[in-house]
Amino acid sequence: QFPFGRRLPCDIYWHGVSFHDNNIFSGQVNKFPGMMETVRKITLSRAMRTMQDLFPLEYNFYPRSWILPEELPLFVAEVRMMKDRNPSWKPTFIVKPDGGCQGDGIYLIKDPSDIRLTGSIQSRPAVVQEYICKPLLVDKLKFDIRLYVLLKSLEPLEIYIAKDGLSRFCTEPYQEPTLKNLHQVFMHLTNYSLNIHSGNFIHSASVNTGSKRTFSSILCRLSSRGADVKKLWSDIISLVIKTIIALTPELKVYYQSDIPAGKPGPTCFQILGFDILLMKNLKPILLEVNANPSMRIEHEQELSPGVFENVPSPVDEEVKVAVIRDTLRLVDPQKKKRKD
């Protein structure tokens, strides 16, 4: 840590939030310029839409999305057209503020007319997206997967996917969305930061029980039920690669403007957090990409009302220590020298 500035050049610079630091001319930085902007909900949705227009079948792992407020008329028109074509279609949509995180400001709607237009949409752009109504349930609960992906280099494109990730569980049994349960966040949203407050959240010392588990423990369970876990992994790998390919053009523009070819500068790598939902039929769906996934290996425990203490979280530790360790091994400059 350099609280008062740095004097000597380093092999690896580990920044907390973003790439920016004008005094780095060599070595490696753990952030890409422009990554935060590139994975915001609106930018990601735009990049995915471009690819969906070009390769609809290859990119069918991202829910159909519209950008608000600019595409509100399009959203209304397309939903009306689809409903006219198929009167039995009873969709649900999820509205997510751009740049939001931890479930902040998210709500579900049944009809485009339910979008809350007062104030917030004008001042806060958002994405409205088809809601995946039939997620895979474990113990009757909805859950999502956080996978850690190392983008080691843009050119050539080098991507590593951690073999284990986290599964974050809802804390109320899942029911398909109805007007009555749309507002029940503990049933529909898997965010840890929300469910921790539900009263039903289970902190477990074991990696295969509780409200946060390892993804490998879910895979074991699916495999024992006869699921084709190999195919699931290969679908997930394909989702990750295609998503990064969709983001690459924008990332290269940022990269070339911050580190022009021929000028001394660092190379970059970055750990990304991919949030993935599994549908009942085991198809993985991309929810979002996080540029700064939390690497905390502790959680807060309420000892008595209002008194909190940080305690170790074995599940986080098992997954995240391995991610950081393997990342450092992969970007190790000594290793590169030996290879050369």
Closest-CA residue to 35 (of 51, 23, 18)? 18
Write out the binding residues for ligand ADP, residues 53-92 only, by CB under 6 A.
63
**Considering the complex, what minimum distance in angstroms separates the CB of residue 193 from ligand ADP?**
8
Shortest gap between Cβ of 194 and ligand ADP (angstroms)? Answer: 8
189 scored as a contact of ligand ADP (CB under 6 A): yes
CA distance 104 to 209: 26
Q: Is 244 in the site for ligand ADP (CB under 6 A)?
A: no
Token code pair at residue 13: 């610079």
Q: Which of 288, 291, 299, 313 binds ligand ADP (CB under 6 A)?
A: 288
Tokens of 116: 């809350």
- Asked if 131 interacts with ligand ADP (CB under 6 A), we say yes
Residue in 26, 50, 60, 102 binding ligand ADP, rule: CB under 6 A: 102
Q: Extract the tokens encoding 40.
A: 């915001």
CB-nearer residue toward ligand ADP: 168 or 242:
168
Nearest approach in angstroms of CB 144 to ligand ADP is: 5
Asked if residue 138 binds ligand ADP (CB under 6 A), the reply is no
Please tell me whether residue 176 binds ligand ADP under the rule CB under 6 A.
no
CB 209 within 8 A of CB 221: no
The reply on whether position 129 binds ligand ADP by CB under 6 A is yes
Q: Do residues 252 and 1 touch, judged by C-beta distance below 8 A? A: no
153 Cβ partners below 8 Å, 6+ apart? 267, 269
Q: Are 171 and 198 spatial neighbours (Cβ–Cβ below 8 Å)? A: yes
Q: How far is the CB of 135 from ligand ADP (least distance, A)?
A: 7
Does position 144 interact with ligand ADP (CB under 6 A)? The reply is: yes
By C-beta, is 27 or 100 nearer to ligand ADP?
100
**Distance, CA of 95 to CA of 93 (rounded, Å):** 7
Distance of alpha carbon 109 from its chain centroid, rounded? Answer: 22
Quick check: 180 and 108 in contact, CB under 8 A? no
Asked whether position 106 contacts ligand ADP by CB under 6 A, the answer is: yes
The letter for the amino acid at 261 is A
Residues that bind ligand ADP (CB under 6 A): 63, 94, 96, 100-104, 106, 129, 131-132, 144, 189-191, 275, 277, 287-288
